[in-house]
Structure 1
Amino acid sequence: MANDQIHIKDLLLRAIIGINEEERRNKQDVVVNITLYTDHTAAASDDIADTVNYRTIAKQIIKLVEESQFYLVEKLALEINYLCLADPRVERAMVTVEKPGALRFARSVGVTVDRTRFDTGAAEKV
C-alpha cells in the first residue's frame, strides 16, 4: 500500500501544446505538479537506494516535455504519469499540468491524471 508521498511542485516548462496554429508554432509555459506515492521503505531505512530519485524523474519529464508535441493537456499529463510509473518504487502517480493564461480571466487551466500501476492501460505502459 502506497502511503508516503514525494512532491515535485511548480515545475515550469515550455511545450508545444494546443490545437491552434499559433500554439503549434510557439512553445508555451506549462506548470507541472506531481505527487508520487511510494511505500515506507525509504523512511524506515534512511537509505537513498530505497527512495525514488526525484531529480532523475524531473530530468526525464523535462526531456519529454521539451522534445514532444501534444494537442491536449490531458495527453501530456498522461504521458508524464506513465513516465513516473516506470519507476517500480512508484505505486501511484498524480500529475497536474496547467496552461497559464489559456483562458481569459483565469490564472490557468489544468488537468489532473491520477493512476496506479494497476489501472487499465498504466500497467502495459510501464
Structure 2
Amino acid sequence: MADSVFIDGLAVETVIGVYDWEREITQRLLVDLEMAWDNRVPAASDDVADALDYAAVSERVTQRLQALKPELLETAAEVLAQMLMEEFGVRWLRLTLNKPGAVPSARNVGIRIERGERP
C-alpha cells in the first residue's frame, strides 16, 4: 500500500526557540505532514469515520505545538510524531517543520523526520 494523507503548510503560531527573546514572542512554524493511510476503506464506504480526518489532525497538531512551547524543532517533531502515531493510529509518517525567517539569508530552514514503517 502506498496511500497517504497529507497536510502541507499548516501555519501554527507558537513559542519556539532557545534565545530569551524567542521565549517572549510567538513565531510561525509551517508543518508539512505525509501519513500512511489505507484510503481504500473510506473510498468504499464514503464515510468520514473511516478516513484519517485531516481537519482533526491539523487541530491536534496546532494544539500540541502551542501547549508544548519547545526550544528545539527536533523536540517538536518527535513529540508530534509520537502523538500522531498514538492518537490517530498512523503507522508511518514524514513530518517537516519549517521555521521561516530563522536565518534571514535563507528562504527557509527546518527539519524533516520519518517515523514508523512504511507499509
Q: Give the TM interval when normalised to the shorter protein.
A: 0.7 to 0.9
In the comparison of the two structures, how many residue pairs are matched? 116
Which residue of structure 2 lines up, in the alignment, with residue 54 of structure 1?
54
Aligned residue type for 1:105: S
The offset of 1:117, in angstroms, is 6.5
Q: Which amino acid aligns with 2:23?
A: R
Encode CA deviations 1:52-83: one digit per residue, 9 max, x unaligned: 11111111111111122111101111111112
Task: Judging by fraction of residues, say which structure has more strand.
Answer: 1
Alignment partners' CA distance in 2, 1:41 and 1:116: 21
One-letter amino acid matched to 2:70: F
What does the per-residue CA deviation read over 1:17-72, in whole Å, with 9 as the maximum and x for residues that have no partner? 11111111111111001011112432344332221111111111111111221111
Indicate the SS of the match to 1:17.
coil
One-letter code aligned to 1:79: V
Q: 1:110-125 counterparts in 2 under 5 A?
A: 110-116=110-116
Q: Please report how far the alpha carbon of residue 107 of structure 1 lies from its aligned counterpart in structure 2 after TM superposition.
A: 1.4
Q: 2:107, 2:75 → 1: CA distance? A: 21
Q: Which runs of 4 or more aligned residues in structure 1 lie more than 4 Å from their structure 2 counterparts after TM superposition? A: none
In the alignment, structure 1 segments of 5+ residues that lack a partner are 119-126
Question: What residue ranges of structure 2 are gaps of 5+ in the alignment?
Answer: none
- Percent pairwise identity: 28
Change (3 A) 1:43 1:3: farther
Amino acid in the other structure paired with 2:115: R
SS in 2 for 1:55: helix
RMSD over aligned Cα, in angstroms? 1.7
> Residue in 2 aligned with 1:3?
2
1:77-102 deviation line (CA, Å, top 9, x unaligned): 111111211212x2211110010011
- The aligned counterpart of 1:124 is none
Name the structure 1 match of 2:18: 19
Contact 1:85–1:117 (Cα < 8 Å) also in 2? no
Code of the residue aligned with 2:73 in structure 1: it is V
Q: TM-score, normalised by structure 1?
A: 0.83
The TM-score normalised by the length of structure 2 is: 0.87
- For 1:93-112, what aligned pairs fall within 5 Å after superposition? 93-112=93-112
